[in-house]
Amino acid sequence: MNPWQGGGSAILKKAEEIAKDVLAAEASRVDREAAWPEKGLRTLLAEGFGGLVVPRQYGGKGQGLLMLARVCELLSRECASTGICFGMHCVGASVMSVNATEAQKESFLTPICEGKHITTLSLSELGTGIHFYLPQTSLIAVSPDFYSLTGEKVFVTNGSYADSYVVSAVAGEREAPAGQFSCVVVPNNSLGLSWGKPWNGVGMRGNSSRTMTLRSVRIPRANLLGREGDQIWYIFNVITPFFLVAMAATYLGVAYSALDEARTHVVRRRHAHTGALSQAPVVQHRFGTLWGMLDRTRRLVYGAAASFDNGEPDALISIMASKAEVADSAVTIVNEAMTLTGGRGYSEGSKLSRHLRDVRAVHLMSPTTDLLRTWIGKSFLGVPLLAD
């Protein structure tokens, strides 16, 4: 089988078409200008991708993690910023979908499925860093109908462009036990919400990963997702699996694209005395190793995603392991692809230089590789994941 073939279903064909026709043309500008990838995202929404993971009864496509992985990989082969922006929208939409009230379906899920609404996840805070499940933002009930939300969120992908934000906060006391927090949907036009300076990352430059300040923002109590304090359930049943698969697939896409760049270079390159570079045994051996690494980690991600969709008990551990493995292999593959592409790949503005900068985010986006491996070890040893 040709390892470079695209997917089969209508959804995958459309995703690949959008990636090749729209994202590929925009990717370099998005990176250069650190521009939020509006054109690609609006095209995805217009083609019905907004409700990819929203259940069919709410008007969505009712797809699971495997399809999310495949779509994010296809998009990220052309533009990783678009891949993660779309992925984070899907994570936010999946969190909204699991226990949506009638009012939430009408206000958020219907417009999401109609391609009129982008959402995203705002969990990380400066005070708690990689521990995204320990918010310090406070959610105080100020009347029978409203909460007041105060705090600061950092690295909010789609920041200032999304129509709504799934924000984590501690209801009542700030020092609630780990994982006992709540999530509320915060509309972008809320009074008291303001944005820090534009994102200027080393890579993932189209993400608009900005700081969000919430000063006594009044949020309707109807925007609470699930019940107050029950987010430990969401963390391990929705947020972590969707978040990890979207991220893993994004960086798989970057690794695929880097390897393809290297292949294109090597297949074309000839030296005066020794002929085609593709005939060099060391180069062939390196491609064999890198292709095996990519194929192995892709199968881990897709297999873990499918096992989650099938409700298998160990699916979450497999998902955690697959993101950690992707992190290691994607960074190696992109690095090696740079070597195999020689001086051309190492030039300023090359596609590989973007891939190299983009892929470095994989280890530090939480759950980080270290955190995942610690969680897997704890699970193996029977130690509670969120205990010190």
Ligand X SMILES: Cc1cc2nc3c(=O)[nH]c(=O)nc-3n(C[C@H](O)[C@H](O)[C@H](O)COP(=O)(O)OP(=O)(O)OC[C@H]3O[C@@H](n4cnc5c(N)ncnc54)[C@H](O)[C@@H]3O)c2cc1C
202 binds ligand X (CB under 6 A): no
94 binds ligand X (CB under 6 A): no
Q: Residue 332 or residue 374: which is nearer to ligand X going by CB?
A: 374
Taking the C-alpha atoms of residue 108 and residue 103, their distance in angstroms, rounded to an integer, is 8
Smallest separation, CB 88 to ligand X (Å): 5
100 binds ligand X (CB under 6 A): no
34 binds ligand X (CB under 6 A): no
Smallest separation, CB 299 to ligand X (Å): 25
Taking the C-alpha atoms of residue 368 and residue 219, their distance in angstroms, rounded to an integer, is 31
Q: How many other β-carbons are positioned within 10 Å of the β-carbon of residue 373?
A: 15
Count residues binding ligand X (CB under 6 A): 22
- Is the dihedral angle over the CA atoms 84, 86, 88, 94 positive or is it negative? negative
370 binds ligand X (CB under 6 A): yes
Within 130-149, which residues bind ligand X (CB under 6 A)?
Answer: 130, 132
Q: Residue 278 or residue 374: which is nearer to ligand X going by CB?
A: 374
What is the pairing mode between strands 164-171 and 193-195? Answer: unpaired
Q: How many other β-carbons are positioned within 10 Å of the β-carbon of residue 259?
A: 23
The tokens of 265 are what? 């270079």
Taking the C-alpha atoms of residue 242 and residue 54, their distance in angstroms, rounded to an integer, is 12
Taking the C-alpha atoms of residue 186 and residue 245, their distance in angstroms, rounded to an integer, is 24
**Which residue from 208, 329, 341, 366 is in contact with ligand X, where contact means CB under 6 A?**
366
**Which residue from 157, 223, 231, 257 is in contact with ligand X, where contact means CB under 6 A?**
157
Q: Residue 265 or residue 360: which is nearer to ligand X going by CB?
A: 360
Which residue type is seen at 341? T
**Residue number with the shortest CB distance to ligand X?**
129
224 binds ligand X (CB under 6 A): no
Closest CA to 84 of 143, 28, 40, 132: 40
167 binds ligand X (CB under 6 A): no
Specify the DSSP element, H or E, that contains 166: strand 164-171
161 binds ligand X (CB under 6 A): no
Contact between 215 and 137 (Cβ < 8 Å): no
**Which residue from 147, 155, 287, 302 is in contact with ligand X, where contact means CB under 6 A?**
155
Q: Which residues bind ligand X (CB under 6 A)?
A: 88, 120-124, 129-130, 132, 155-157, 201, 204, 207, 209, 361, 364-366, 368, 370
